[in-house]
Structure 1
């Protein structure tokens, strides 16, 4: 039996965002909610953005015991001008909001395709555009784009989502190259299927598209390519975001931090 090391590895400094302002989109639930809470726990003033006013109100109710502050901000990201304006003065930007529809391309409604690209690619561009002047001015900023394993791999019947996530990867890398001389990092976090309402809502669509019973979608479709046979939790994704915003993440930029349970190892 190996005895413990007499010289344990030193612990890194905890994430301290006191005095920083963060903006998290899609903050009313799922990954966005977990990220908003994590950043507020680190002391940030978090502008929690979502179109779900009720969900934001519930989130804000958790702020009393946190070092930081959660400020609900009701916003539909298809209002691109408002999105860009909302990002002004932001130190940490987490582009998380997403929508999903599972359909074959020939049956995919063009208006939904347009909306998915607007919310998940054009809005992040406008938010980054709105945040960069302040970040550049102070010589520090953190952009974290919640991408997906679908930013690196495609799946059938998800043309809009896959296209948006692949585009987000390119946008994030471009922001990394432009931001590096100004102390701004830009990265993607790429989880596999997360235990969120977004995933739960697509079970019926997946069952119909693939011709399998709904109760088999999780095992036969969603987790088929994952070596680790479980959903990832929103809090695990939030910890990856926290790492990229912390002192040990300062040299990480233009990267995709993959949390896929071994999916892309195939």
Structure 2
């Protein structure tokens, strides 16, 4: 399929899942805006590389996704969008009684509130065009829970609820809103954790991946950023026109348990 003529904004997309999504959207012909909170030469160079690789327009726009005004300004600076992928997120692990309040506030702001602000800013343009796709990158933790991840689990459950509400509000207007719920995805961040985990458990790489990182993922295989990006592109296709207000799990069976 082609997304030529469509503009996509992907938040938190200078690495990891967001970058994979941006690459797949560009490959499908969309004009893409990538984003993070930094504003470095390498961020803009990354946008230029994606543009050169796929022959489409790609821009980098810095925005602090913990700030609601900045989230809305991102959409305005981009010139609106046809496709909005809310991907920005952070994580912190601690018992509830020890959980730092500033970490709680930051996770809720970046993982949940940012999606509210960008969606609110993007919907008027989508309604005027009679077409739009809002795709929220939630998590298996938007459907289930783990100990010591109170803020992340709360935020991702909130993203799923927000997804359903938006879908109902725009039903019949040519706009869909869905959430993708990944399990463990092999990103540079996860890859970097593997050597330390090997030392911690005195295990080889294969055992750490299978028995520690992918303990709850029955397939015992990571999802890939390309697979997440492909799922986003599918949700933008004509085949997905009647898929709205739901979650799509890309978790190797995690939430089937």
* TM-score normalised according to structure 2 size: 0.90
CA deviation map 1:77-125 (0-9, x unaligned): 1221121122242110000011111222122111011000000110100
- Is this contact kept in 1: 2:12–2:88, CA < 8 A? yes
Q: Tell me: CA distance 1:102–1:66, structure 2 relative to 1, closer, same or farther (3 Å).
A: same
Q: Encode CA deviations 1:167-209: one digit per residue, 9 max, x unaligned.
A: 00000010000111211100011110111144346669989xx
Aligned partner (choices 25, 38, 62) of residue 74 of structure 1: 62
Shift of 1:131: 0.2
Structure 1 counterpart of 2:13: 27
Q: How does 1:148-163 map to 2 (within 5 A)?
A: 148-163=139-154
Pairing partner for 1:95 from 86, 105, 121: 86
Question: Which protein has the larger Cα radius of gyration, Structure 1 or Structure 2?
Answer: 1
Q: CA deviation at 1:62?
A: 2.7
Aligned residues: 250
SS of 2:171 mapped into structure 1: helix
Match in the other structure for 1:264: 255
Report deviation, 1:159. Answer: 0.9
CA contact (8 A) 2:177 2:244 kept: yes
Q: Relative to 1, partners in 2 of residues 1:118 and 1:205: Cα closer, same or farther, differing over 3 Å? A: farther
1:164 aligns with 2:155: yes
| Residues 88-237 of structure 1 aligned to structure 2 (within 5 Å) | 88=76, 89-200=80-191, 218-237=209-228
C-alpha RMSD of the superposition: 2.2
Contiguous gaps of at least 5 residues in structure 1 = 1-13
Alpha-carbon shift at residue 217 of structure 1 (Å): 5.3
| Deviation (angstroms), 1:247 | 1.1
Distance 2:160 2:117 in 1: 15
Structure 2: gaps (5+ residues): none
Q: Give the structure-1-normalised TM-score.
A: 0.87
Of 57, 60, 69, which aligns to 2:44?
57
